Amino acid sequence: METAETADPPPLGLYCHVPFCVSTCDFCAFYQEKPRRGDILRYLDGVERELALCPPDRAAGTFFWGGGTPGVLAPEALRRLGSAFLRANGAAPFEWTVELAPATVKRDRLAVLREMGVTRVSLGVQSFDASTLAALGRQHLPRQIYQAWDWIREAGFKNTSLDLIFAAPGQEESRWHADLAEAVRLAPDHISTYCLTLEEDTALFIKLAKGRVRVDADNEAALYRATWAFLEEQGYAQYEISNFARAGHACVHNLNTWRMAEWLGYGPAAASQWRGQRFQNPANLDRWLKGIEAGALLREQVVALSPETLLADALVFGLRMNAGVEPEVLARRFGARLPAALRTLGIRLEEEGLLSGVPECWRLTLEGRLRADAIAVAVLECW
């Protein structure tokens, strides 16, 4: 019988936050800095030292670079960053994702990424419509999307993905359908579709507070339904509420994260889940570097991960995936007991038509997926 002592360690991923952006999109709440040469050099020094101070304890199977905009880094900076990760890991990962913005895609940068072993490129398109891009505060133009996509395909990455946003201010249903159809025409391996979320301290949130934009929940629900039906018809299987892929092209790094595996984050604002803790690096370049230079990494928002916490989170994120979750299997995996209230909740949600498969494998119905956030809150309240 397998025990905690003999069980294989969970998959490990390495995340890198590249915090540099030329401009801030109106919907973006991620930490970022202007790409000044001096700061970029300080950042690269810091990541190299952080990898030395906190190396992975085993070879990671996935790398994921997000931001910010990793593509603002010059070819030599990309090569230096990639080399640091490969040295620290001791091996090339099975999957290596880099997020790119259309305006930053250049042939020489793509050549470096391909040469280093990057397998997956995710292009932040958001929309193919100029007026929608303007409403989101995006700085690229539709023509830049097509040029970037041609170069990405030309470079020959194994896995390509397009990110889109719907329910943007002023975006009519017909415009969103046109965006979806255009994304499918470009034939990526993976498509992510995100409903616009108005985060505090963003330009769009301020416009919402002033009544200049509004949230229409009924319209959002209609767009969700239309998106799921259309992409399924086009051969993109939904594997998570916002993510669709052709067979064999789901994002492994994200799947492992949602399944409560382990990951180590490097760079300012990067989060980690490792060795029984969840924590975040300071969302400030200077403070992050200060800890590194002192040889004592600064970790914020530290949470001790009890078996119950991991179980609850695995259920919440697992329910977002179309494969669903097996509560009893997860309880055994984490060595935690399922609360009686959770069993009662599952029965009620099934009676309401929001859940199926109780008690063995819980899967949200189509209506349940539309209410996933509320169901997540109800699950967490069972503890």
Q: For the segment 137-186, what is each residue's pLDDT rounded down to a tens digit?
A: 777 889 999 999 999 999 999 999 999 999 887 788 999 999 999 999 99
- Residue 264 counted as domain residue: no
Contact (CB, 8 A) for 184 and 232:
no
Q: What average pLDDT does this structure show over 259-287?
A: 97
Same domain, 60 and 185: yes
Q: Are 61 and 95 in contact (CB under 8 A)?
A: yes
Do 374 and 239 lie in one domain? The reply is no
Q: Helix, strand or coil for residue 233?
A: helix
- Residues 76 and 35: their CA atoms lie apart, in Å, by 15
Distance (Å) of CA 33 to CA 17, 30, 40, 70: 12, 10, 10, 12
pLDDT over 70 at 213, yes or no: no
Identify the band that residue 2 occupies on the pLDDT scale cut at 50, 70 and 90. very low
What is the sign of the dihedral through the CA atoms of 131, 132, 138 and 141?
Answer: negative
Cα radius of gyration (the chain) = 21
Listed residues 216, 237, 257: the one ending a domain = 257
Q: Is residue 113 very low, low, confident or very high in pLDDT (cuts 50, 70, 90)?
A: very high
What's the confidence (pLDDT) of residue 349? 98
User: Same domain, yes or no, for 43 and 165?
Assistant: yes
- Give me the chain's average pLDDT, please: 91
Long-range contacts made by residues 174-180, C-beta under 8 angstroms, separation at least 24?
175/127, 175/129, 175/131, 175/132, 176/223, 176/226, 176/227, 177/226, 177/230, 178/128, 178/129, 179/127, 179/128, 179/129, 179/132, 180/227, 180/230, 180/231
- Indicate whether 144 belongs to any domain: yes
Residue 204, pLDDT > 70, answer no
Residues 77 and 182 in one domain: yes
The predicted structure's pLDDT at residue 31: 63
Question: What is the domain count for the chain?
Answer: 2
**Are residues 126 and 57 both part of a single domain?**
yes
Q: What average pLDDT does the segment 201-228 reach?
A: 66
CATH number, domain at 375? 1.10.10.920
Last residue of a domain, one of 193, 226, 257: 257
Provide the residue type at 204 as one letter: L
- Determine the pLDDT at residue 24: 54
Q: In CATH, what number is assigned to the domain containing residue 126?
A: 3.20.20.70
Give the pLDDT mean for 325-333: 97
The parent domain of residue 336 ranges over 307-380
Separation CA 291–CA 258 (nearest Å): 29
pLDDT in tens, 124-149: 999 999 988 888 877 788 999 999 99
Determine, yes or no, domain membership for 286.
Answer: no
pLDDT band for position 215 (cuts 50, 70, 90): low
32-70, pLDDT tens digit by residue? 777 799 999 999 999 999 999 999 999 999 999 998 899
Q: Which of 231, 246, 236 is nearest to 177 (CA)?
A: 231
Residue 203 predicted with pLDDT over 90 = no
Look at residue 323 and tell me if it is in a domain: yes
102 and 208 in a single domain? The answer is: yes
